[in-house]
Amino acid sequence: MSKRLLCIAGSLALSLASASFVAAQDRTTTTVTTQKTQTVQNADGSYTVIHYPVDKEVLVDLTPGTVIPGAKGIARVMRKGDATNINLDLSNITGDMNNFNVYAVDPSGKFTLLGPVTVANGMATQTFTTPMDKFMLVLSPEGNLTTMAENTPILFRSGVPQGFAVIPVGSRGERDGAAVGERVSAATTSGASAAYTAPLLGIPNWRQGTDTEMKINFAGEMTGTRANVSIEPRKDGATTIRMRFHELKEAPGGKRYVLWAISPDNKYHRLGQVVNTGQRNEAEIRTETGLRDFGLFITTEDVNDAPPTGTIVGTIMRGNR
């Protein structure tokens, strides 16, 4: 470690906090446990099947297809018990085509017709109910759609909300009825506009006293940043976390990059932060936590308080070990 990294000052301020002494936040109001896969959607983007959680409204952007490229649409999906409600809100539907059919596509690739939707004055709202809990949405003028090809007329197809990943079509786990994906901790905090999710790393299964190098997926303002992450479960029960940033991007508007741990019981623990004013592009966080297992993610924040309220710009994934 160079002295330049150990003595970060002035334009780059580095705050560290040990999660061993951070109390679980009381402002967590709603908790959700969901399944998240490590796969990505098909190369052509045609199937974006996701698994919807129970008792949590998920806002899904509808991506315009070839029929009306400038059309806009969202779906509010709420799963309760054995039924999933889908509320469509469509706008900017131009042209003479006013009648469309709404389909749900399951993980096997099967298309199920939910019903028609009629556009009036360029807009439409419609509610559908289905017993399915894993699906993508497709809107098309076709009345008997069974698959999608490059020339299939599509008004909309559903995108993938933040915090979710695509279930691969025709996966063995789905055919056999087995669970697909890994356990994810997620929570919604007071004042936050979205759920914060991160996969639990499975620390109890790691070898004690051994460093494990991991990578981190950056997004948003931190796109282009590189970082090395080292995690070491110790024999005394604590876990050491070291994160070294390279080519660190300047934080927007005086914000800071904050590293969080989320516990299996959906509580947030602030582990450390980096403030970068653009003068230096390297930094390091060294910290530890007494949590038995946890997920890790980074947000941009305005203040030092917890829980997180900013945008997630980095997530450490278990598959990157």
pTM (predicted TM-score): 0.44
**Which position has the token pair 């940043």?**
225
Angle at CA of residue 204, ends 182 and 260, nearest 5°: 70
Can you tell me the distance from the alpha carbon of 260 to that of 272, in angstroms, rounded to the nearest whole number? 7
For residue 251, what pLDDT is reported?
Answer: 72
Interatomic CA distance for residues 76 and 59, integer angstroms = 5
Specify the residue for token string 């983007």. 45
Which pLDDT score, from 0 to 100, does residue 46 have?
60
Q: Identity (one letter) of the amino acid at 72?
A: K
| 105's tokens | 């596509």
Confidence of residue 277 (pLDDT cuts 50, 70, 90): low
SS3 95: coil
> What domains sit in the chain, N to C, each tagged with a CATH number?
3-33+182-320 (no CATH), 41-163 (2.60.40)
Average pLDDT for residues 14-23, to the nearest whole number? 38
CB 204 within 8 A of CB 237: no
| pLDDT for 170 | 55
pLDDT band at 318 (very low <50, low <70, confident <90, very high): low
pLDDT average, residue stretch 161-176: 60
- pLDDT band with cut points at 50, 70 and 90 for residue 27: very low
Q: What is the C-alpha separation between 248 and 224, in angstroms, rounded?
A: 8
Strand partners, 61: 74
CA–CA gap between residue 321 and residue 316 (Å, rounded):
10
Task: Give the chain's mean pLDDT.
Answer: 75
- Helix ranges (H only) for the chain are 3-6, 172-176
How many CB atoms sit inside 10 A of residue 114's CB?
21
Q: Per residue in 218-245, pLDDT tens?
A: 777 777 777 888 999 998 889 999 988 8
Q: Minimum mean pLDDT among 59-63, 122-126, 200-204: which range? A: 200-204
96 Cβ contact partners less than 8 Å away, ≥ 6 residues apart: none
Tokens found for residue 214: 């991991």
Could you give the CA distance from residue 275 to residue 10 in angstroms, rounded to a whole number? 10
Question: What's the per-residue H, E or C state across 214-229?
Answer: ECEEECHHHCCCEEEE
Q: How far does the chain reach from its first CA to its final CA, in angstroms?
A: 23
Alpha-carbon Rg for the chain in angstroms: 22
Q: 193: closest CA among 310, 307, 301? A: 310
pLDDT at residue 181, rounded to an integer: 34
